[in-house]
Structure 1
Amino acid sequence: MPLETSGDLDPLLERIGDARHVLIGEASHGTHDFYAWRAELTRRLIIEKDFRFIGVEGDWPDCDRIHRAVTGDGSPDEAVYAFARWPTFMWANEEVREFCRWLRGWNDALPQERRAGFHGLDVYSLWDSLQAVRGYAQSHLPEQTETVLRALHCFEAYGHDPQRYGLATRLLPDTCEDEVVGMLAALRREAPGDEEGFAARQNAEVVAGAEEYYRAMMRGGPDSWNLRDVHMADTLDRLTDFHGGAKGVVWAHNTHIGDARATDMAAAGMTNLGQLVRERRGADAVVLVGFGTHRGTVIAGREWDAPAEIMPVPPARPDSLEDLLHTAAPGRALFVAPPPETRPTWYDTPVKHRAIGVVYDPARDRHRNYVTTTPGRRYDAFLWLDETTALRPLHGEPPGETEPETFPSAL
């Protein structure tokens, strides 16, 4: 069905029905159209279906700054602009700022307990989260300050570089695992259930997850990817409980929100967030929404930590889902997967499906950027945008320490 206005999302809202979690993807981290339609669908879920929080593929400390701004403490503009680690364009962009301005306005009309939150699900912010736990302990749990400092001093020996830490643990038996486990146990036991206490516990969970993640990353294989997505699923569970069982939206790449069992990721031993949420919550309680495009422009880096630039997205390869929809579908269309017994065969036919990360080389697009996918099993709905344009970043990439993502192609 054509997709031109917000009202054209009505069939998807009907499909969502009483689902508790809606996971909304993107085929790249640098495309304006994906962000704009994802934001519009999220607005409708908040207004019409009482969704109370958004969990995104971002770091907890940065997103906690946005959460505080959109729920009444600070400026959404300043909170979004303040993203300072590469790739800043992924969150410090006009599209996210516009949504956060809207969310602040929506929340201002509501009592505090009904305001919609904005939270990071990811595992990368080892150092920032560790510093946040230290600050919280010094102010609220002084008797646990020494426990936190033991973990902090352990990581300081590696120069604030989590990759250096991971590499060192491949060569020597010493790790920071015991110090991190002790810190996490203390926060779980003693931090109260208010918002500040929850944020402190979550930062401790991030440190524990990151410590394990960077050790796994140096071993190679699917373990680091799986640890990251399990961490995101666990964080979503914690957020759901913290918000009193409220409904939640997730924003993440298609490779995270589309069910991995319907892709060749499964054969590689990988799971992902969409699969885990379906397994934990039940398929009827979860709706997975993917995106795709045939051609256009995107913002990305040529390599990790490289300056972001607007690049062409070439026409999709001939054997791909994108090529099929370019030939057969309107320029903008919404597909809501019918029941298996009534739907066209393409929903259940494995096909190549493009995925662009924050690192991208258009010249190698056809050889590196496709995941074999069974569309009707991977997604419950799919937004097709034949030609798309790049995100609009708020600022350039500042120099600084970075914590790189993993396979496939920095997603």
Structure 2
Amino acid sequence: MKPLSRRPCMLRPSTSYASIQARNLSPQTRFTRHSSKMTTKPQPLAPPPENHTVELLRRHLTPVPPISQSSSTLTDFFAPFAHNDTKIILIGDSTHGTSEFYQARAELTKYFIQHYGFNIVAVEADWPDAEAIDKHVRPRSPSAPSLTQDSEKPFQRFPTWMWRNVEFQNFTKWLKEWNEGKDSKTEAVGFYGLDLYSLGKSMQAVVDYLDKIDPEMAKVARKRYERMMMWAEEPHEYGLEALAAGFKGCEKDVMQILNSLLRKRVEYESMIWDGEEFHSGEQNARLVKGMRNVKTTVTLKLTGVLDAEQYYKAMFYGRDESWNLRDKHMFETLNRIIKHRSRSTPSKAIVWAHNSHIGDARATSMGWSNDELNIGQLCKEAYGDQALTIGCLTNTGTVAAARKWDGDMQVMKVRPGLPNSYEQLMHATAVKNFVLDLRVGHCNEELIKALMEKRLERFVGVIYAPGTERQSHYSHAVLPEQLDGFIWFDETKHVGALEVHQPHTTVEFDETWPFGL
């Protein structure tokens, strides 16, 4: 049976995520900080940077030296974020290709690991790719499979520069050295992927795992995944087919694989690396379907197959639903990782993702106009003040990005912040680099009030379109409600990518369509 041909007329117009976000709509609802209570009072747009607000910023910000020279001021400033009962720290960036953002995120992460016992690094990346890094940096028992020279290289899907860059390479080198000699279950730091685009890799990972542990069950898995494999290379086609009347999806087959693995959990866990490989196998299987139908408190690898099947169907019914499904998947995966690691030792997590994911969606037009949520909002709702967010922002410089899907990486000039934007306001301070704690009780009340005016904020993903920057990359936000703190770099440079040319993937409806974030 061949998949049906594409039906572009059945799709919504392929407006990009950023351009939908950037519509100049007044919010219909607002929320009280760290609360789900809503009000109906709209907030006016902020005027151009007023001298009083700029002066307040200058008075209360903390300057930091260039990150390449010293990170001690930065790490000391954010040390209180890791105090007390903090369970999760989410560190975001406003682009996917800025060197200073990657460096600052890495330095904060190393500091929190060294001084406060954080033992989970969970990132906006696919599970199988991140697991390859985890096998490289975290010691495992002799019976556990490891990354070898013959292993498939991780992060080969567009955009490769997002993780295949010098800054991330330096962090993984440090993490491997930190983990040396530490018990992999109780002391070593694990590296995990939260995203759900790895449909084909996740199905193959489940089968490979079963080949080692239960060859008969592997045969069953191959049979049940057979229909889904038709779309492994072009999973968006599966979403298109779901629009056709009478289309029979693969949800039942992939659910049966998950249920079979869960029934045999105890048996499998006793056979290979004390449950770690089972946890990975379960997460991959989940990735092929959809978590809303799975009510279980067990750990991870099947999630990949489960959630991806549902995501690719949702893509073509509406962008709001698919965005929400993706971020719910990230949040649920994070929870399962924490629960899995907590079986051996108390666990605390650091999350790396774009500002659009980690900043509370209720404080942006994502939530006001589009009814979208994100992992930052979900963490706030579930963990309250035990989940804290730090964003990275810039005014100008250079960025690594592409001009179109699957396009080669280019080094592009970042335009200065637009009028009425937070970027323009921060630039007006004339302070090159600084940090600010936006939490109530930690920041000057008058400054918080001034920053509560609704302003534009820039969001650049893997695509940068400077010619249509206002429409493509700006959205409205209220910064003190979106983030707990932020790092400002007035001028930044692009990441040191390991390669420029991108591997070919399907140009039309790439897996990250329509977001790029």
The answer to whether the superposition gives a TM-score over 0.5 is yes
CA change 1:343–1:183 in 2 (3 A) is farther
Contact 1:84 1:397 in 2 (8 A): no
- SS at 2:158's partner residue? coil
- For residues 78 and 145 of structure 1, the distance between their equivalents in structure 2, rounded to whole angstroms, comes to 22
1:369 and 2:473 matched: yes
Amino acid corresponding to residue 512 of structure 2 in structure 1: E
User: Partner residue of 1:243?
Assistant: 341
Q: Give a deviation string over 1:186-234, Cα, whole Å, max 9, x none.
A: 2233244511100000101111100000000011230000000000000
1:103 and 2:178 matched: no
- For residues 159 and 68 of structure 1, the distance between their equivalents in structure 2, rounded to whole angstroms, comes to 24
1:206 and 2:304 matched: yes
Q: Percent identity?
A: 36
Name structure 2 gaps, 5 residues minimum: 1-61, 141-145, 270-274, 286-302
Alpha-carbon deviation of 1:112?
2.5
Amino acid corresponding to residue 295 of structure 1 in structure 2: T
CA change 1:159–1:276 in 2 (3 A) is closer
CA change 1:279–1:80 in 2 (3 A) is farther
User: Partner residue of 2:166?
Assistant: 94
- For residues 112 and 183 of structure 1, the distance between their equivalents in structure 2, rounded to whole angstroms, comes to 28
Q: Could you tell which deviates more after superposition, 158-167 or 24-33?
A: 158-167
Q: Could you tell which deviates more after superposition, 125-134 or 147-156?
A: 147-156
1:325 to 416, 421, 426: 426
Q: Please give the residue correspondences for 1:110-259 in structure 2 after superposition, counting only pairs within 5 Å.
A: 110-113=182-185, 114-158=187-231, 160-172=233-245, 173-191=247-265, 192-193=268-269, 194-204=275-285, 205-244=303-342, 245-259=346-360
CA change 1:154–1:76 in 2 (3 A) is closer
Q: Could you tell which deviates more after superposition, 138-147 or 353-362?
A: 138-147
User: Partner residue of 1:7?
Assistant: 72
User: Partner residue of 1:404?
Assistant: 511
Amino acid corresponding to residue 73 of structure 2 in structure 1: D
Alpha-carbon deviation of 1:366?
2.2
- SS at 2:398's partner residue? strand
- For residues 435 and 253 of structure 2, the distance between their equivalents in structure 1, rounded to whole angstroms, comes to 49
1:38 and 2:139 matched: no
Q: Could you tell which deviates more after superposition, 179-188 or 193-202?
A: 179-188
CA change 1:359–1:388 in 2 (3 A) is same
Alpha-carbon deviation of 1:396?
3.2
- For residues 148 and 435 of structure 2, the distance between their equivalents in structure 1, rounded to whole angstroms, comes to 31
- For residues 151 and 269 of structure 1, the distance between their equivalents in structure 2, rounded to whole angstroms, comes to 36
1:270 to 372, 376, 380: 372
> Which entry has the higher C-alpha Rg, 1 or 2?
2
Contact 1:147 1:182 in 2 (8 A): no
Contact 2:409 2:502 in 1 (8 A): no
Contact 1:347 1:377 in 2 (8 A): no
- SS at 1:294's partner residue? strand
Taking structure 2 as the reference length, the TM-score comes to 0.76
Work out the number of aligned pairs and report it. Answer: 409
Contact 1:89 1:394 in 2 (8 A): yes
Structure (1/2) with the larger helix percentage: 1
CA change 1:376–1:77 in 2 (3 A) is farther
User: Partner residue of 1:51?
Assistant: 118
Amino acid corresponding to residue 329 of structure 2 in structure 1: H
- For residues 374 and 52 of structure 1, the distance between their equivalents in structure 2, rounded to whole angstroms, comes to 31
- For residues 157 and 75 of structure 1, the distance between their equivalents in structure 2, rounded to whole angstroms, comes to 28
Q: Give a deviation string over 1:233-285, Cα, whole Å, max 9, x none.
A: 00100110111140010000000000000001012010000000111122x10
- For residues 230 and 7 of structure 1, the distance between their equivalents in structure 2, rounded to whole angstroms, comes to 35
CA change 1:239–1:159 in 2 (3 A) is closer
Alpha-carbon deviation of 1:130?
0.3
- For residues 358 and 78 of structure 1, the distance between their equivalents in structure 2, rounded to whole angstroms, comes to 29
1:281 to 383, 394, 400: 383
Alpha-carbon deviation of 1:400?
3.5
Contact 1:66 1:79 in 2 (8 A): no
Alpha-carbon deviation of 1:52?
0.2
Name structure 1 gaps, 5 residues minimum: none
Q: Give a deviation string over 1:48-98, Cα, whole Å, max 9, x none.
A: 100001000001001000001011366799999642111110001101100
Q: Could you tell which deviates more after superposition, 339-348 or 243-252?
A: 339-348
Alpha-carbon deviation of 1:169?
1.0
- For residues 181 and 401 of structure 1, the distance between their equivalents in structure 2, rounded to whole angstroms, comes to 28
Q: Give a deviation string over 1:142-173, Cα, whole Å, max 9, x none.
A: 34224422342112333631011110111142
Contact 1:77 1:101 in 2 (8 A): no
Contact 2:235 2:312 in 1 (8 A): yes
User: Partner residue of 1:342?
Assistant: 445
- For residues 476 and 152 of structure 2, the distance between their equivalents in structure 1, rounded to whole angstroms, comes to 35
- For residues 497 and 150 of structure 2, the distance between their equivalents in structure 1, rounded to whole angstroms, comes to 14
Contact 2:366 2:373 in 1 (8 A): yes
Amino acid corresponding to residue 274 of structure 1 in structure 2: G
Amino acid corresponding to residue 130 of structure 2 in structure 1: C
Q: Could you tell which deviates more after superposition, 358-367 or 60-69?
A: 358-367
Amino acid corresponding to residue 305 of structure 2 in structure 1: V
Q: Could you tell which deviates more after superposition, 340-349 or 209-218?
A: 340-349
